[in-house]
Amino acid sequence: MDSQFSEFPNFSTQESVENVDDVSQNSSKRVRGPSFNIDEDRLLISAWLNIGMDPIQGNEQKCNTFWERITKYYHEYKVFDTHRSQLMLKQRWCKIQKYVNKFSGCFATIIERHESGKTEQDKIGEAKKLFEVQEKFRFNLNHAWILLRHQPKWLQLEQELGDKTSKKRSKFSATNSLSSSTTGTHIDIEEDMNTYNPVIRPPGRKAEKRKLREANDQLVQIQNLHEQKRERDERKVQILKEKIEIDKEKLRVRKIEAENKKIEAEMRILSLDTSTMNQEDMIYYSKLRMKILLGDMYGSC
């Protein structure tokens, strides 16, 4: 069974649960099929947990659809010969839910006493005694309680049923509330078998689709941001390259302008009329001309 709830505690699978289908002394005397055994209870609990926690189907199933899927799951994974109809499975689950929930209340009452020196097994034994006092018969669904007690879906269902019970109890007088609290903190479940109250967990199909869309939108936004950053970086690099080229061109232009100014100055010196100059100026400009001419000559070499 490829399910997260297929790993069960190691109970004896050959043992039939004694009177496990007739947990109340006031059971009707109608003809029934074979009593459910531990293996059947385990598989039914696994079906309830798995079908209810399906993230696509779990929250939006109608009662009939929910139990059809549980029945299909049950028969798909069973390894025993007994046949159980959808109604039988629903009835069995209602009994498991009712009495496991009551036992959980008894166990909570024992835990709240905070008695030191007692192991968990001691407290479970006392809870069974308290259950027997309250219900007038022994609790024999220990295997179901062990499978359900720590499951989030079961804990949430207990909480929801506890909230409903609290609302009902608020209608009683303070005296009745006080007297009822002394008998334990269990939740009395007399639930119509044709009523299915889906729990909040897990999210339904619409919520899953919405989350998927939101995740996709976030991914697209992240990709867009990365693309925009890449484009900005490329633009910065391009602008830097353009600036370098512009600076090179400006430097080249300045060199040409400086060279042109130098040539203009040299041409003015070479074209000067020195015949009207005094002896000293003539000697000075003659030397400049010679220097210019020699510079051109060596420069051309």
- Summarised one tens digit per residue, pLDDT across range 10-49 is 333 334 444 444 444 444 444 466 889 999 999 999 989 8
Q: Of 234 and 159, which is predicted with more confidence?
A: 234
Query: Residue range 99-106: average pLDDT?
Result: 92
pLDDT at 20: 45
pLDDT tens, position by position, 249-270: 999 999 999 989 888 888 888 8
For residue 260, the tally of other CB atoms under 10 A from its CB is 10
Is the CB of residue 21 less than 8 Å from the CB of residue 38?
no
Is the CB of residue 269 less than 8 Å from the CB of residue 292?
yes
- Nearest by Cα to 90 from 105, 71, 72: 71
C-alpha of 164 from chain center: 29
Q: Of 54 and 182, which is predicted with more confidence?
A: 54
Angle between helices 279-300 and 205-270 (to 10 degrees): 130
Asked if residue 202 has a cis previous peptide bond (ω within 30° of 0), the answer is yes
Phi, psi of 182 (to 5 degrees): -75, -10
Is the CB of residue 43 less than 8 Å from the CB of residue 72?
no
Predicted TM-score of the model (pTM): 0.47
Q: How far apart are the first and last CA of the chain?
A: 96
Residue type, 119: T
pLDDT tens, position by position, 177-220: 434 433 333 333 334 344 444 444 455 567 777 878 888 888 88
Q: What does the block give as tokens for 122?
A: 């001691």
User: Looking at the predicted structure, is the pLDDT value of residue 295 above 80?
Assistant: no
* Rounded CA separation 293/150 (Å): 106
Q: Give ∠ CA 67-1-100 in degrees, rounded to 5.
A: 50
% the chain with pLDDT above 90: 32
Q: What band does 166 get if pLDDT is binned at 50, 70 and 90?
A: low
207: Cβ contacts below 8 Å, ≥ 6 apart: 59
